[in-house]
Amino acid sequence: MGDTIASLRIGERGIIEDFSLDIIPLCLLEMGCLPGKEVSLIQIAPLKDPLYIKVNGSHLAIRKEMADLINITKL
Amino acid sequence: MRNNAVLNVALVGNPNTGKTSLFNQLTGLKQKVGNYPGITVDKKHGKCKISDELTAEIVDLPGTYSINPQTLDETIVLETLLNKKNESYPDAIIVVAEVENLKRNLLLFTQIKDLQIPTILVINMSDQMERKGINIDIETLKTALKTEIVLISSRKNIGIDVLKKELANYKNWNTETLANISTKIDANYFSELEKTFSENSLYKSWLLITQQEYCHFLTEAQNKKINTFKTDVEKIKKYQHKETIFRYQKINEILKTAYKVDKSKATDLRSKLDSILTHKIWGYVIFAFILLLIFQSIFEWASFPMDLIDGIFAKLSQLAKNNLPEGVFTNLIAEGIIPGIGGVLIFIPQIAILFLFISLLEETGYMSRVVFLMDKIMRKFGMSGKSIIPLISGTACAIPAVMASRNISNWKERLITILVVPFTTCSARLPVYAILISLIIPSKRIFGIFNLQGLTLMALYLLGFTAAIFSAILLNNVLKVEHRSFFVIEMPNYKVPSVKNVFYEVVEKTKAFILGAGKIILALSIVLWFLASNGTSAYKNAEKHVTTLEENSNLDNEALQKKIASYKLENSYIGTMGKFIEPVIEPMGYDWKIGIALISSFAAREVFVGALATIYSVESEGEDVGTIKERMGAEINPKTGLKRFNFATGMSLLLFYAFAMQCIGTLAIVKRETKSWKWPILQLVGMGALAYIAAFLAFNILS
């Protein structure tokens, strides 16, 4: 419990849990970041932010503050 | 169709799908850019012959991930596809997808398809399918998506003819909707919506509800009707989320059978490059090296063609003077128009080189890595990683740089970026810096390798960046702007840049800049020439006045002519203006002639040199003045008897030009982009005050 995308280490994977729809912006969903999808952390920027992730086939960079809002189950 | 044989086609697609490559293949050199990009959103369009009877007018709409816009450019997609009165409203739409990101690309396709305008799906980069182990069952996909599909490779020019053949047949395309959003989400709400707006497709009506603020074409009555469906904003937001999830479910179902990837064939070139280019040390080293390379090239490569252009126009001017019959018209050509055109064309080499690099960085996919590397650092200054692109572009010209800030979706970060970009040393400052530095800084070497003049120039660049950073920090603490931060960027796969794309990009951007900024500079040169060669009654009686003066009775003819000329200039319209502001600029060490150059510079900085050149050449009445630099070096301050452009005045001018907001073009574009006069006025006043104080201090400390 309590894992988010921000708590992944490089190379680790997880499954996105249901998230509260009013926190996550629509554009993130549209880029493929959806509940039930696998997410993996590819790289962390030198100052620990942003995070470079692969989710649902898309390669994206998101800020830590957003990554912290997306709960996952680690694989 | 507007004419019986012209078909309006819109190109739509995600960024990085090769949409622009396809556009280049279809239209070639027949493409045009509507307006100067500063005046309206960049709209690329061009003609393409489909068959003997049919020509397509193709519009390359801005790349977008969804029809729901996040940025200003993306609203153009929405506006073009929803507004039937838009001149580019399409008869047919081409949605461009690419093999590797087909799933995400299809989200946009399903949205477009639901608008029920004839739509075709084009899958690009098909030549790479085998190498990447991707297998697409086109027939299954066609049936499931209810559409025609063409596999193409825009870079290798494969499949373009097939696409043209399909386009000729657009009237027979299936226009059924794909995702029936209504029943899955809220059957009552959507059937009510459908009934109320029976003239539209249901999805279009839904977009009018959710994107009403961007649909400026709506009438008051339509807006009223729409508002009746917007009583519960939270509900609508929830429905939008549900709609997206539903669309992805549908896409996943379809792709499960039609799209296969053999993972063993995937190469790890991408991750190898990523681990170097975004490395915590090497990432920055490589970025710094690339920046250095860009600046070096701008100076090294551009200096030769720039000198060439400069020389050619000086010769042309002389040639016109010598060969045309004497008169006002000849003067206008030789002193107004020719130097004016030269003053514009001289920027081509630098601008083209800068755009070449920016285009290369974007084409290869490296720019996203820079954004990723720099985001946290830039955020400390209230900006975003995406601000790097405007700040680099700003070294060419602030106008395209301000526009490049559009893809920053956070308003506060975008605003700060726009406000501080004019501090970066744009190419218009270069001629001013170059001539002043050569006048006041000796050309000697330090430590045997560094040229002191070159170091001064570099220091001025750093000064510009420092001013930008510090004002950003200040603005970040002062500005109270409501903002929510959505930072999502795609990290595209690395690509070898296409020569064709880069070439078109450089030509088009350079052309847009030269035509846009050039008009202002040329017009001003002519106005300036006119103001300097006409004046009030004192100007008209100059000859009589000077010759009858007691003190001039002993002068020979040549000296007398000189006196008349400078008396004329002093009493010309521009001279009167210069005199008027002299008391204000005197504390910085300037006289009325520099004042004239300053006034003219408010249109564009580079006019400074041209203005001084005009002033001195009008003053010298046709005799050979030598180069502008020699003339400035010889100018004497009558009050002190010393050189006018001494170290103190020179430094004062350098600082003034480094900080002051002297560019009408930039002010206009900032007004347009921020939709308020407040911000350009803040720039004008704030930067002006800083420039005045810095120049005042420099002059008084140094002299």
Please give the residue that has the higher pLDDT: either B689 or B539: B689
What distance in Å separates the CA atoms of residue B384 and residue B413, rounded to the nearest whole number? 6
Per the domain annotation, does B501 fall within a domain? no
Among candidates A29, A52, A60 on the partner chain, residue whose Cβ is nearest the Cβ of B241:
A29
Residue B117 pLDDT: 93
B116 — pLDDT class (breaks 50, 70, 90): very high
User: Same domain, yes or no, for B470 and B542?
Assistant: no
User: Same domain, yes or no, for B551 and B619?
Assistant: yes
pLDDT of residue B27 exceeding 80: yes
Single out the residue of A42, B683, B665 nearest to residue A51, CA to CA.
Answer: A42
pLDDT of residue B528 exceeding 50: yes
- All residues at 6 or more sequence positions from B116 whose CB lies less than 8 Å from its CB, including other chains: B175, B176, B177, B201, B203, B204
Residue B370 pLDDT: 93
Inter-helix orientation angle B647-659/B452-478, to 10°: 40
B558 — pLDDT class (breaks 50, 70, 90): confident
Residue B248 pLDDT: 92
Contact B371, B466 (CB under 8 A): no
| Structure tokens given for B77 | 């997609």
Contact B174, B168 (CB under 8 A): no
Q: In what order do the strands lie in the sheet with A58-62?
A: A72-74, A13-16, A38-44, A51-55, A58-62, B488-490
Phi, psi of B198 (to 5 degrees): -65, -20
Contact B23, B71 (CB under 8 A): no
Single out the residue of B322, B365, B11, B320 nearest to residue B154, CA to CA.
Answer: B11
Mutation pick from B71, B384, B486, B494 vs chain A, by most beta carbons of A within 10 Å, is: B486
Mutation pick from A10, A42, A43 vs chain B, by most beta carbons of B within 10 Å, is: A43
Tell me which H or E stretch contains B120.
Answer: strand B119-124
pLDDT of residue B494 exceeding 70: yes
Q: Does A30 touch chain B (CB under 8 A)?
A: yes
Residues of A in contact with B493 (CB under 8 A): 59
Name which of B331-335, B353-357, B358-362 the model is least confident about.
B331-335
User: Same domain, yes or no, for B232 and B297?
Assistant: no
Q: What is the mean pLDDT of residues B288-303?
A: 80
Q: Does A62 touch chain B (CB under 8 A)?
A: yes
Q: Of B266, B296, B327, which marks where a domain is finished?
A: B266
> What is the distance in angstroms between the Cα of A52 and the nearest Cα belonging to chain B?
8
Please give the residue that has the higher pLDDT: either B292 or B102: B102
**Nearest Cα residue in chain A from B490:** A60
Please identify among residues 378-407 of chain B the ones whose CB lies closer than 8 Å to any CB of chain A. Answer: 385
Contact B142, B134 (CB under 8 A): no
Could you give the 3-state DSSP secondary structure of residue B33?
Answer: strand
Per the domain annotation, does B499 fall within a domain? no
Could you give the 3-state DSSP secondary structure of residue B489?
Answer: strand
Tell me the CA distances in angstroms from B320 to B231, B330, B624, B681, one per residue in order: 71, 7, 14, 42
Residues of B in contact with A30 (CB under 8 A): 65-66, 68, 107, 244
Per the domain annotation, does B444 fall within a domain? no
B39 — pLDDT class (breaks 50, 70, 90): very low
Single out the residue of B119, B122, B125 nearest to residue B157, CA to CA.
Answer: B125
Residue B460 CB neighbour total at 10 angstroms: 19
Q: What is the mean pLDDT of residues B117-129?
A: 93
Q: What percentage of chain B has pLDDT greater than the value 70? A: 94
Mutation pick from A23, A27, A56, A66 vs chain B, by most beta carbons of B within 10 Å, is: A27
What distance in Å separates the CA atoms of residue B178 and residue B113, rounded to the nearest whole number? 7
Residue B33 pLDDT: 63
pLDDT tens digits along B589-616: 998 889 988 887 876 787 787 777 767 7
**Nearest Cα residue in chain A from B242:** A21
| Structure tokens given for B360 | 């290369």
User: Same domain, yes or no, for B327 and B417?
Assistant: yes
Tell me the CA distances in angstroms from A37 to A13, A40, B187, B279, B683, one per residue in order: 10, 10, 27, 28, 46
B147 — pLDDT class (breaks 50, 70, 90): very high
- Determine the residue type at B496: V
Tell me the CA end-to-end span of chain A in Å, nearest whole number.
13
pLDDT tens digits along B402-418: 888 887 878 899 999 99
What distance in Å separates the CA atoms of residue B9 and residue B7, rounded to the nearest whole number? 6
**Nearest Cα residue in chain B from A47:** B376
Tell me the CA distances in angstroms from B627 to B255, B435, B616, one per residue in order: 70, 11, 10
Per the domain annotation, does B653 fall within a domain? yes
Number of independent structural domains in chain B: 3
Work out the mean pLDDT of chain B and round it to a whole number.
Answer: 85
Domain boundaries, chain A: 5-74
Q: Of B232, B266, B300, which marks where a domain is finished?
A: B266
Residue B95 pLDDT: 96
| Contact assignment for B490 to A60 by CB distance below 8 Å | yes
User: Same domain, yes or no, for B221 and B115?
Assistant: yes
Among candidates B68, B241, B283 on the partner chain, residue whose Cβ is nearest the Cβ of A46:
B283
How long, in residues, is chain B?
A: 703
User: Same domain, yes or no, for B42 and B109?
Assistant: yes
Per the domain annotation, does B495 fall within a domain? no
Cα angle: B407, vertex B410, B415; to 5 degrees = 85
Tell me the CA distances in angstroms from B655 to B353, B424, B509, B587, B703, one per residue in order: 26, 13, 30, 14, 15
Per the domain annotation, does B489 fall within a domain? no
- All residues at 6 or more sequence positions from B532 whose CB lies less than 8 Å from its CB, including other chains: B569, B572, B573, B574, B575, B596, B614, B615, B618
What distance in Å separates the CA atoms of residue B94 and residue B119, rounded to the nearest whole number? 6
**CATH class as words, domain A5-74:** mainly beta
What distance in Å separates the CA atoms of residue B649 and residue B597, rounded to the nearest whole number? 14
B417 lies in which domain range? 282-428+454-478
pLDDT tens digits along B208-235: 989 988 888 888 988 988 888 888 888 8
Residue B3 pLDDT: 46
Helix-strand-coil percent breakdown of chain B, rounded to 5?
65, 10, 25
Work out the mean pLDDT of chain A and round it to a whole number.
Answer: 88
Q: Does B103 touch chain A (CB under 8 A)?
A: yes
Tell me the CA distances in angstroms from B164 to B91, B142, B226, B288, B444, one per residue in order: 14, 18, 39, 45, 63
Count CA within 13 A, CB hemisphere, residue B51.
13
Pairing mode of beta strands B149-151, B55-60? unpaired
What distance in Å separates the CA atoms of residue B651 and residue B441, rounded to the nearest whole number? 10
| CA B470 remoteness from chain centre | 24
Name which of A24-38, B349-363, B438-452, B666-680 the model is least confident about.
B438-452
pLDDT of residue B444 exceeding 60: yes
Strands (DSSP E) along B484-627, which ranges? 488-490
Please give the residue that has the higher pLDDT: either B404 or B552: B404
User: Same domain, yes or no, for B38 and B98?
Assistant: yes
Residue A60 pLDDT: 93
B583 — pLDDT class (breaks 50, 70, 90): very high
H and E: helices and strands count for chain A: 2, 5
| Contact assignment for B490 to A27 by CB distance below 8 Å | no
pLDDT tens digits along B242-290: 899 899 999 999 999 889 888 776 667 888 899 899 988 999 999 988 9
Q: Of B236, B266, B296, which marks where a domain is finished?
A: B266
Residue B299 pLDDT: 67
| Contact assignment for A27 to B68 by CB distance below 8 Å | yes
Tell me the CA end-to-end span of chain B in Å, nearest whole number.
72
Per the domain annotation, does B290 fall within a domain? yes
pLDDT of residue A75 exceeding 80: yes
Residue B340 pLDDT: 75
**In CATH, what number is assigned to the domain containing residue B196?**
3.40.50.300
User: Same domain, yes or no, for B73 and B141?
Assistant: yes
Tell me the CA distances in angstroms from B511 to B37, B302, B337, B431, one per residue in order: 11, 17, 19, 20
Residues of B in contact with A61 (CB under 8 A): 368, 371-372, 375, 487-489, 491
Annotated binding site of B for GTP: 13-20, 38-42, 60-63, 124-127
- Determine the residue type at B581: I
Annotated binding site of B: 13-20, 24, 27-28, 38-42, 60-63, 124-127
Per the domain annotation, does B434 fall within a domain? no
Tell me the CA distances in angstroms from B390 to B137, B416, B561, one per residue in order: 42, 11, 51
Residue B98 pLDDT: 92
Count CA within 13 A, CB hemisphere, residue B77.
28
